[in-house]
Chains A and B, each alone.
Chain A
Amino acid sequence: MSHIKIQLKPRQVEQLQEVCQSFNNKPGELINVLHKAQSIFGYLPAEVQEVVAKELNLSVAKVYGVVTFYSFFTMQPKGIHPISICLGTACYVRGAEKVLDEFKRLLKVNVGETTPDGKFSISCLRCVGACGLAPVVTIGEKVYGRVSPDGVKDILKEFE
């Protein structure tokens, strides 16, 4: 499933089980459970999926199918400051691609990758609905509007 092998600590497994229980271990709540799990672990490695599958009485294949279907779920750990560049239409026509290129150039990583120090990761998303501020970049919970390629450097500086 994933090339990264991790060992879940017993406490983490317990935490996952609690999450499943809070949804009464109903198979229909799979997506809600995965949302919670991703907010705890930051991503959904195979090991987490296995626990969820067992708790909700589903096959691991089914859980994997759902995780890979939705772009919100990721099996790769993200950086401490996950950078998302909006590539929705409004941002696109206002030059979001150039902003993305600048992030890639400065951080020397591609879309979907994390910097070696684990600090930043780059991903693209489709429209955060803040089209009035296009092009838009989100880093963690913070939304940056009207970003220009020249401004990328300054944004990254905030996180040094």
Chain B
Amino acid sequence: MDDLKKLRNTLLEKMKFRENNQNAQVQVQVKVAMATCGIASGAKEVMDFMAEEFDKRNIEAVVTQTGCMGYCYAEPTIEVKLPNNEPVIFGWVDLKKADRIIEKYIRNNELVEGIIPLNFASIDDNLNDETTERKKQIRIALRNCGVINPENIDDYIGRDGYQALGRCLTELSPDVVIDQVKKSGLRGRGGGGFPTGLKWEITRKSVAKPKYVVCNADEGDPGAFMDRSILEGDPHSVIEAMAIAGYAIGAEFGVVYIRAEYPLAIERLKIAIGQARVLGLLGRNIFGTDFCFDIELRYGAGAFVCGEETALIHSMEGNRGEPTVKPPFPSVSGYLGLPTNVNNVETFANIPPIITKGAEWFASIGSEKSKGTKVFALAGQINNVGLIEVPMGTTLRDVIYEIGGGIRDSREFKAVQTGGPSGGCLTKKHLDTPIDYDNLIASGSMMGSGGMIVMDEADCMVAIAKFYLEFTVEESCGKCSPCRIGNKRLFEILEKITKGNGTLEDLEHLRTLGNVIKDTSLCGLGQTSPNPVLSTLDNFFEEYYEHVVDKKCRAGVCKSLMKYIIQEDNCVGCMACARNCPVNAITGEKKLPHLINQHICIKCGACMEKCKFNAIYTN
């Protein structure tokens, strides 16, 4: 057993050496962020181009791919490390720019525009050192994303990969492992926030055998892509953590339940599992101990409700993904009726550093009741759309204005939606609230899996609530009536309001019905689905009121409430609008002001586009 570990250590040393020293001194290292969004923006072309050009121009350089660096707004992004220089990240790299980077920066060490300042601390930094500048971001779950080549296990091992697993198997008993996870204060990152260590302990104590470890990679929240980025950028961390969980709870079999919509993540996971098997890090007698563990993939098929753990388990069994009442919890009776431990991708990604760096280290980061960091996918009307990881307890203001770079086009911040269709909206008054599980729930929203959609004054909150309800109606599995029928009715009332037919009574109905659905639904989907409505009602009641009483949508989103009006003073009677109106709603004599018949108008805006005299406006 010790021999094997020694062998592993020399291997680790060798890899570290190769990674950090030898190459770095003689060669130029270029890393291209090749996650789904990077590839869609042309990262593959940039990578091929650079490799080819280095050859042609006789520059000794290594071009490797890596995962998401988190700067989605600036894709494609590349990192260039010159010998004896700090790495520099360039954004918005197309072929032309790649050419300039080669000629100017790599050849002559002259900087090129489009440099992205590094704004996060890594787990290797001494976080408690007061002398170093405090970084807003700390990367624990994303520690390897954008750093290593996800398709090469050596890279992962070179960054202390599989050391945590080795340590657990050879030095720690399962109870100690669980104790460490409990002490770290890690809570489920999928949204619920259940203490991970406790979950492991309950599964360990269940008597039935065999037991299963399941990784929930069915990231269904629209606007959330943390799990995809981790799987695409650092698949081994999830594999290693699943094996640790297997050891701790006494399971030999793991399943990753992953969305079929993530082909690249599936591909990279498959490669990673294969590599781990070859090195004996999965399979029989891992690290020479009698612990055996292997992982299989199961694919989701596009059902949001399958993110709920009981529904996910039914789907794994090949059934319709309908949830069942808890208890029994999966930790007692799950997959095939046996004890099953379900954790989310990001939760797993936090496990190896907790083991190697210690529970105390992890618990020193974050707020009182929520430890560690949380990855957020920042999207919507924000300048720096991307993936960020901040300590729990960071304020919304820091996230939006410091890291996110503020609202696009310097517009006014209106709200941020967290927790997807299960969450709610946070507004200006919440800007200085520290983000953690309990504070978000107290504010009428929830952590959710980590999607953060930023909205500005051009977004109508009633329409947003309607958008989420439409989603829930479509994704409700239909098993229990509060969710199946109640959400449909909620949606219909919202539609009535956005069409301009709402009454004040409807607003009352929204609230009562919403609360009934919350209280009586069977699973997490129904219990949280009215949140977008209830929280917008609480925070933006005046907007609902305007829709209902003044028949006005201040954001101009609800078309039915919008009126196109001709300003008589500016209208010269050129007939251009009348000729272009598809429904002949405009009448008027030549050279006299025209009039739009509001009953016929379909609000297409064609008249406004054609008018050369700015005579048409909307209310």
Contact = CB atoms under 8 A, between A and B. Distances in A.
Contacts of B75: 132-133
Nearest to B304: A126
B40 A143 contact: yes
Nearest to A68: B320
A29 to B, nearest CB: 6
Given A89-B467, A90-B222, A90-B223, 7 more contacts: A89-B451, A94-B380, A127-B222, A129-B224, A130-B225, A131-B72, A145-B41
B114 to A, nearest CB: 16
B216 to A, nearest CB: 15
B416 to A, nearest CB: 11
B385 A132 contact: yes
B261 interface: yes
A20 B420 CA distance: 37
B302 A72 contact: yes
Contacts of B455: 93
B302 A70 contact: yes
A42 B453 CA distance: 34
Interface residues on A, range: 35 or more
B433 interface: no
Interface stretch (B150-158, B206-214, B311-319): B311-319
Given A31-B318, A72-B301, A128-B261, A89 B453 contact: yes
B417 A89 contact: yes
Contact of B36 (A28, A125, A143): A143
A88 interface: yes
Interface in B271-321: 298-304, 315-321
Contacts of A71: 301-303
Interface residues on B, range: 35 or more
B260 interface: yes
A53 interface: no
B299 A32 contact: yes
A126 B470 CA distance: 12
Contact of A72 (B40, B222, B260, B263): B260
A130 B73 CA distance: 10
Contact of B72 (A128, A133, A144): A133
Given A125-B261, A132-B385, A69 B39 contact: no
B222 to A, nearest CB: 3
A34 B318 CA distance: 10
A92 interface: yes
B228 interface: yes
Contacts of A65: 320
Most buried by A among B225, B304, B317, B321: B225
Nearest to B229: A129
A40 interface: no
B272 to A, nearest CB: 19
14 contacts: A27-B318, A31-B301, A31-B315, A32-B298, A70-B300, A89-B417, A89-B420, A90-B222, A94-B381, A132-B72, A132-B379, A134-B379, A134-B385, A143-B36
Nearest to A141: B263
A32 B297 CA distance: 10
B129 to A, nearest CB: 33
B260 A145 contact: no
A128 B260 contact: no
Given A28-B318, A72-B301, A72-B302, A88 B223 contact: yes
A129 B259 CA distance: 11
B338 interface: no
B477 interface: yes
A144 B219 CA distance: 21
Interface string A11-28: 000000000000000011
B445 to A, nearest CB: 14
B222 A89 contact: yes
A152 B467 CA distance: 23
A93 B263 CA distance: 25
